[in-house]
A and B are shown apart, each in its own frame.
Chain A
């Protein structure tokens, strides 16, 4: 967050402790997404995500997912441009 944030954002208290808010630049050209997005920094959240897989660096939540169309099941997950053909 220290390296990537464009500005500070509101913090939030959670069951993983305090999350530090910060504005990040979301860049997903494949999904035509280029915009500021509020993110949250937490070593505890990263550690929890890495329990699932060591390559994970954090969690992506609804604020990001709502910019796209998404779906899946226990075995797969897909993400696509809103309105794109399946």
Chain B
């Protein structure tokens, strides 16, 4: 799967799995999504990256979220003119 499709697949999966992730993992946990599915989690970001590499994944292609954080789908950026 090309990078763009993988990226979009994981973004869509996160939106779909957001509530389940919040209910399953304790706050502060780093959770990794690849191929549209949760594939790993860890208390530490660097440990998660190591886990992903052990799994044969390129961490830069994997979507990572941290439980307990807000990830709005939309936002307004204020800018002075």
Contact = CB atoms under 8 A, between A and B. Distances in A.
A9 B77 contact: no
B contact patch SS: mixed
Interface string B42-81: 0001101100100000011111111001011111110110
Given A10-B14, A36-B46, 5 more contacts: A6-B49, A7-B62, A8-B60, A23-B64, A48-B79
A14 B64 contact: no
A41 interface: no
Interface string A33-57: 0011010000001001000100000
Q: Classify chain B's interface size.
A: 20 to 34
A19 B72 CA distance: 12
A8 B74 contact: no
Contact of B45 (A13, A21, A23): A23
Contacts of B14: 10
Interface string A2-23: 1001111111111110010111
Contacts, number: 62
B64 A7 contact: yes
Interface residues of A, number: 24
Interface of A: 2, 5-16, 19, 21-23, 35-36, 38, 45, 48, 52, 59
Interface of B: 7, 10-11, 14, 32, 45-46, 48-49, 52, 59-66, 69, 71-77, 79-80
